[in-house]
Structure 1
Amino acid sequence: MQNPKNYRFSQRMPEGDNRDRMVCDDCGWVHYVNPKVVVGAVIGHDGKILLCRRAIEPRKGFWTIPAGYMEERETSEAGAAREAREEACAEIAIDALLAVYNIPRISQVQLIYRATLASPDFSAGPESLEVQLFGWDEIPWNDLAFPSVHWALHHYRAVQDRESFPTHTNPPGELGNY
């Protein structure tokens, strides 16, 4: 955290709270550290799914759905669409929230949408080595970047032809502690 005015912070429990926080020793302002929100989409087109091979760490060289950290002052849907543009140079049409995954080990909440390509055009963005459409049996399952990508793909397949469905969560027993 930048400290432009040289405020002094210490770790302590603010009055009325139930856990230690970083608190300004001079004015009592509390610096809250909250989970990061990741937004993304499983994007279908002509019976195939769009995946990106990562050009950056973590898991460089592995395949993933277009996803990344939500920015301030954007909706989760806008963030998912932005990530598709940044990673796959793709314009998408989002139709539903597919899943909410909790990854407490790294303080993440992932909001994954179901979407389609709004145009058949796509290409690798700066964070992707390549982008490709895969049929279900062509997906490089052993080279997927994260367990939540596996979850999202399976949840997508379970509801790809359904108009409405309940939002999925972590599979039973999966706490996201990878």
Structure 2
Amino acid sequence: MNAQDVRHCPRCGARTSRPPAVCGACGYAAFANPRPTGTAIIVRDGRFLAIRRARPPREGWWDLPGGFCDGFEHPADAAVREAREELGVEIELGAFAGMHIGTYEFQGEQLSVLDCFWLATITAGEIALDPAEASEHAWLALDDPPEMAFQTMDAVLRNPLVRQSSARLVP
């Protein structure tokens, strides 16, 4: 069931309309806000690092290292943490490359997400994939990226800032 389909107040259980809604019984305001993510576009010599997803959704598709923010974690911190967890490397974030609203299928639900992207470079370590996250990695051409696992990644990789990024990674 999608959060947008919930028609009862999560606080008191009174019948209400789907979010965004204010409960007529207790005044609780319910929203269906996107969940934030942090993602790194790791670049080198006109190429970006892509990983092949090892699990659903979109298992087998090319992906960028990143993921959901923990609690009150800033999306930039999530991008750095996710690169460490998924790739085994330390990265330095460069320019903010943009944010896009998208969807992510989780436990049969279509979640709305706010995907935040940064250009990045590897500063320490050798790539050692977490097999639970990725089955392989490749350096792909920025000027001709493949279709990615998520539409927001396709959108950010079309951004001229990203396509011309190899020469200038400025925080």
State the TM-score, normalizing by the size of structure 2.
0.72
In structure 2, the partner of 1:173 is none
In structure 1, the partner of 2:77 is 78
Distance 1:74 1:59, change over 3 A: same
In structure 2, the partner of 1:11 is 16
Runs of 5+ in structure 2 lacking a partner? 4-9, 104-109
Q: What is the Cα deviation at residue 140 of structure 1?
A: 6.8
- Is the CA contact (8 Å cut-off) linking 1:38 and 1:111 kept in structure 2? yes
Measure the CA separation in 2 of the matches of 1:128 and 1:44: 18
Measure the CA separation in 2 of the matches of 1:137 and 1:77: 21
In structure 1, the partner of 2:95 is 96
In structure 2, the partner of 1:159 is 165
Measure the CA separation in 2 of the matches of 1:163 and 1:115: 7
Count how many residue pairs are aligned between Structure 1 and Structure 2. Answer: 154
Superimposed CA distance per residue, residues 129-177 of structure 1 (whole angstroms, 9 cap, x where no aligned partner): 2233x141897715x3123223333332233323569xxxxxxxxxxxx
In structure 1, the partner of 2:39 is 40
Distance 1:136 1:6, change over 3 A: closer
Q: What is the Cα deviation at residue 106 of structure 1?
A: 5.1
Superposed structure 1 runs of 4+ greater than 4 Å apart: 137-140
Runs of 5+ in structure 1 lacking a partner? 14-18, 166-178
Which residue, out of 122, 126, 146, partners 1:121?
126
- Is the CA contact (8 Å cut-off) linking 1:8 and 1:24 kept in structure 2? no
Q: Report % sequence identity.
A: 26
In structure 2, the partner of 1:148 is 152
Measure the CA separation in 2 of the matches of 1:137 and 1:41: 14
SS at the partner of 1:84?
helix
Alignment RMSD: 3.3
Distance 1:124 1:9, change over 3 A: farther
Structure holding more strand per residue: 2
In structure 1, the partner of 2:21 is 21
